Structure 1
Amino acid sequence: MDDLVGWAASLILLATLVRQIVKQAKDANSEGVSTWLFIGQATASVLFVVYSVMVGNTVFVVTNSCILVTALVGQWIHWRKRRKTAAKETR
């Protein structure tokens, strides 16, 4: 039962993060997150994955790995959009 609660929480959290990434991808004026927030989130996610592996908690290994992926995808979308905007401005 404990794992079921953990998996449910994980799904809810990941659904909200994915929804935010989709919103960011569709919004032409999206500014993304600050570089320091991205670095902090990515670093914390990596450390949480390592810790979760050390304590043997599969729910947190998967969840924190997925959170790291959402941070990387969100940042990639932001960088890509910023590069396209800069290219349009130089034309």
Structure 2
Amino acid sequence: MGPEALGWFSSFVLLLTIGKQVHRQWKSGSSEGVSKWLFVGQMTASVGFTLYSWMVGNWVFVVTNALMLLSAIVGIVIVMKHRRAARQGRASQTRAPSGAAHA
């Protein structure tokens, strides 16, 4: 296996792994225990690595890091959506009268 093929294969495995985790987070409806700073750090690193890879002409890493940036954006959007829904759920629980009978 040549260096380019190894690079593309490794990129595929990494993106598949991260994509599966983000999909699981979205599908479960919960981001409990997931820090938004994980995605902020991933976005920062991905931007830097994408620019660096472009500057040195390494297209495997340009593509990989650009897609990792996209996965981080999707991940942080999911975390923020889940946190907003959790806050709204807590707020609606505090507004509902306790012990109220449902018809």
Spell out the pairing of 1:1-91 with structure 2 (5 A cutoff). Answer: 1-31=2-32, 33-91=34-92
Greater alpha carbon shift after TM alignment, 80-89 vs 41-50: 80-89
Change (3 A) 1:32 1:25: farther
Letter of the structure 2 residue corresponding to residue 8 of structure 1: F
Greater relative contact order structure (CA < 8 Å, 6+ sep): 1
Q: Within 2, Cα distance between the matches of 1:89 and 1:18?
A: 30
Q: Within 2, Cα distance between the matches of 1:86 and 1:15?
A: 31
Letter of the structure 2 residue corresponding to residue 30 of structure 1: S
CA deviations over 1:28-47 (Å, ceiling 9, x no partner): 44325323332222111100
5+ residue gaps, structure 1, are: none
Rg comparison, structure with higher value:
2
CA deviations over 1:18-58 (Å, ceiling 9, x no partner): 10001111224432532333222211110000000000011
The structure where helix makes up a greater share of residues is: 1
Q: What's the TM-score once normalised by structure 1's chain length?
A: 0.89
**Root-mean-square deviation (Å):** 1.5
